[in-house]
Amino acid sequence: MHKNVLGHGGLIVSRMGLGTMTFGVETEAEEAHRQLDLFVDHGGTMIDTADGYGAGASEKIIGDWARARGGMNDLILATKGRFAPPPGSHGASRRSLVRSIDASLTRLGVEAIDLYYVHGWDIHTDIADTLGALGDLRAAGKLHHIGWSNLTAWQLQKLLAVAERYNLPKPIAVQPQYNLLERGVELELMPCCLEAGISLVPWSPLGGGWLTGKYSADARPTGATRLGENPARGVEAYDLRNTDHTHAVLNAVSDVANQTGRPPAHVALAWLAARPGVASILLGARTLAQLKDNLAAADFTLTDRQMETLTAASALPALPYPYNFLRDLCGMDVWDRLGT
């Protein structure tokens, strides 16, 4: 599997990463271990989890698997803290992060985390305190690099400024939701990351299953899908995504899939892997068969024309002010280069 450099920290990661949010919730340990074996056998090296996935079950499953194989020094391990704080602390506070990472290290059975993400912004904690705690944890050898998930560009720029002023660690990766149906990160977050040399590690690359071609405009999902098995969640999520724009994108994906002889999911993954700043895509699967299908796209690439077709079909609406002003009158072409 192709490898990429992750940000400015020197880590090298596989083009496809393994997201493990289902482990211990929708995927039992034995099936999860088979997924981990398959992922590594296909050349995957980036395993992503969080202390909030299954209330720690995901980390425990990965740790048990790693111990059985004799460790994971050949792999890049990422986990997150923020949404499972110990009682008495806000999620990104020093007390919370210190206790959370110790618990994660125990469950995972490792001495250090390669990439530790703050899972989301904490409005109750000064960013300098959060970065200071992460810096101390790095100095103590408990983590090597930091990242951030689910944040805005102004928040990223704020933490970069604080890190620069006080010589605190800067993130090497940002983990946003990003796919052909969700391109809002391109307005500000992606340009900010490109400017700072920070890589993107997208989650939900298949748009919650929509980009696999299994949902249609006139039939609500049923059966063995996440939306089909949870009627309440299914109706709400289906109605939010079931739009004319969605189906225009799906039609374009289907056309390219027919041209290439590949399934729609492979087309969507290949488009995302080729986007600026994207270092690794997190594949999440409930079953071994789903993961195997998606891993088959690991080395698949699209032609320039196919990329342009998909980018045009999924483009954001006309750029609002001030982005159009900056592009047209100030010469900023970053959004044209992104194809928005």
Catalytic residues: 53
Q: How far apart are CA 284 and CA 294, in angstroms?
A: 9
Contact 314, 326 (CB under 8 A): no
Q: How far apart are CA 333 and CA 328, in angstroms?
A: 8
∠ CA 231-234-239, nearest 5°, is 130
∠ CA 173-177-179, nearest 5°, is 110
Q: How far apart are CA 310 and CA 15, in angstroms?
A: 20
List the one residue out of 192, 161, 154 whose CA is nearest residue 276: 192
Contact 77, 112 (CB under 8 A): no
Contact 49, 59 (CB under 8 A): yes
292, two tokens: 């195997």
Q: How far apart are CA 300 and CA 249, in angstroms?
A: 20
List the one residue out of 260, 256, 244, 263 whose CA is nearest residue 308: 256
